[in-house]
Chain A
Amino acid sequence: MQMVKRIVGGFFLSLLLLWLFAPKVELYYALEKQLKEKSILISNETISDTWYGLKIENADLSVDGAKIATISQLNFNIFFFYNTLKINDVKMDKSLSNMAPKEINSVNAVYSIINPLKIQLDANGSFGVMNGEVALLDRKVALLFPVTKEIKTIKKFLKKDKEKGWIYETSY
């Protein structure tokens, strides 16, 4: 019995330590490298290692070499069974003022063990409110805008659904 206790305790302790001792900054650099292959770059940011994740501040987001936004704060919270990415205060580049929403106040992405095949998304900003999900197996993204404000700039990418509101769908 003593041995079983020790093995079970050791297993959970190992998980906890794996999480606490994880080189989160280096893992973030690895993520940056993966994103770079898709021409997405996060630069000029300040990275802080928290015990349960990472805090990134004042990051410039570029796609295909073009700066598209400045992000005030990004929080990666990793709890293995429940992981979140919170993005606060995204200001789009002036050059995109005719093509994208001016401001995104917050974006939350949640990946949990309860729904392992999907990432849940929700956001709000100058466009209104957005809910959506990323289907990992189908490699599809579906975003729903039930409450809209200024969507003139993104309307061309959306489809109107009489019941739900405006919908954006794409695959990757």
Chain B
Amino acid sequence: MKQVISSKHLSTIIFLLSIMVGIKLLWLIISMLFLPTTGEEMKQSTQAKKLYYRVRLSNPSKVTITPKAPTKSVVISMKGYKLLGLYHSDKKLVVTVSKGSKTSILSGGEKIHGFELFTAGKDYVLFRKNGQEFKLSLENRKNSKTNVASSHASKTPTSPSAKTSKIVEEGGTKHIPKTLLTSYTKDIDKVWKDVGLSNYKKDGKSAGFKVNFVKKGSDIEALGLERGDILTAINAEPLNLSSAMNFFNGINDLDNLTLTVERNGISKDLEYEIQ
């Protein structure tokens, strides 16, 4: 019988095929043992609820109120007390009241000098004591603000940043005009002129931004940031490029802001209200 392929060619073909099979097998083993079979995809933000909500007590006009009619007709005003702030929703009632120089924050059901806080209307709250109801109305906001602003001005007239900056401190919280924030978002160069930030890593992972410098007399200085601070969170959300960009993009919708900074190893919250 005549041979179709010579033994020499046959051995060459077997040699080539064995190389092909060997290499295919080699890659197969490498793939199975060492290479991932799926790619990495970006996980969508879960829009998880924040750990807490900040309540802007000083601005009653922005608070959603569910008015509840008082149950009793006898209402007496509370002399000596002032209602400074009010937050009222279906589930929560929080108010700030002052008497003299002392300020207290109360939740629904709590008592102050025997007066029990039990309900609220749009711009007033009702307390109960000895079966009687006492009404406390919100202080006029404009008057209140003017008073605070003027007292602040008299207290700190010489601070250079206070002169140039539009940031005002009121009752321990700094108030930032929205226009000031938008001036930074519109002109990003202004940010880099006033503050130097670099990515801060902890255990190889991004853990915030380090403040390398703060321009003297700038609005950033008036915010209370200092060189060496590590910005770790904005509104309780850990700070990274993503949350920083989200913050930057949504800055117009913010009413308040909490910057968490690590200063000399100690974590500190800087509170701001945006107006």
Contact = CB atoms under 8 A, between A and B. Distances in A.
B76 interface: no
B80 to A, nearest CB: 52
Contacts of A41: 40-42
B105 interface: no
Interface in B1-58: 12, 15-16, 19-20, 23-24, 26-27, 30-31, 34-42
Interface stretch (A32-40, A78-86, A102-110, A127-135): A32-40
Contact of A13 (B16, B31, B42, B205): B16
B66 interface: no
A153 B188 CA distance: 8
Contacts of B243: 65
Interface in B217-256: 240-246, 248-249
B35 A32 contact: no
Most buried by A among B30, B36, B187, B244: B36
B27 A10 contact: no
A22 interface: yes
Nearest to B189: A156
Interface residues of A, number: 39
Contact of A66 (B15, B30, B192, B245): B245
A113 to B, nearest CB: 21
Contacts of A21: 20, 23-24, 27
Given A27-B35, A30-B35, A64 B19 contact: no
A95 B245 contact: yes
Contacts of A43: 39-42
Interface string A32-56: 1101100101111101000000000
Contacts of B23: 14, 17-18, 21
Given A10-B19, A43-B41, A98-B188, A22 B241 contact: no
B206 interface: yes
B35 A64 contact: no
Contact of A33 (B27, B40, B206, B245): B40
Contact size class for B?
A: 35 or more
A23 B40 contact: no
Nearest to A10: B19
Contacts of A23: 27, 30-31, 35
Contacts of A14: 19, 23
Contact of A44 (B35, B41, B192): B41
Contacts of A99: 188
Interface string A111-154: 00000000000000000000000000000000000000000110
Contact of A17 (B19, B38, B40, B249): B19
A162 interface: no
Contact of A39 (B16, B24, B26, B206): B206
A41 to B, nearest CB: 5
Contact of B42 (A22, A35, A62, A96): A62
B222 to A, nearest CB: 22
A6 B15 contact: yes
A13 B19 contact: yes
5 contacts: A17-B23, A42-B40, A62-B242, A65-B240, A66-B244
Interface of A: 6, 10, 13-14, 17-18, 21-23, 26-30, 32-33, 35-36, 39, 41-45, 47, 60, 62-67, 95-96, 98-99, 152-153, 156
Interface of B: 12, 15-16, 19-20, 23-24, 26-27, 30-31, 34-42, 185-189, 192, 205-206, 240-246, 248-249
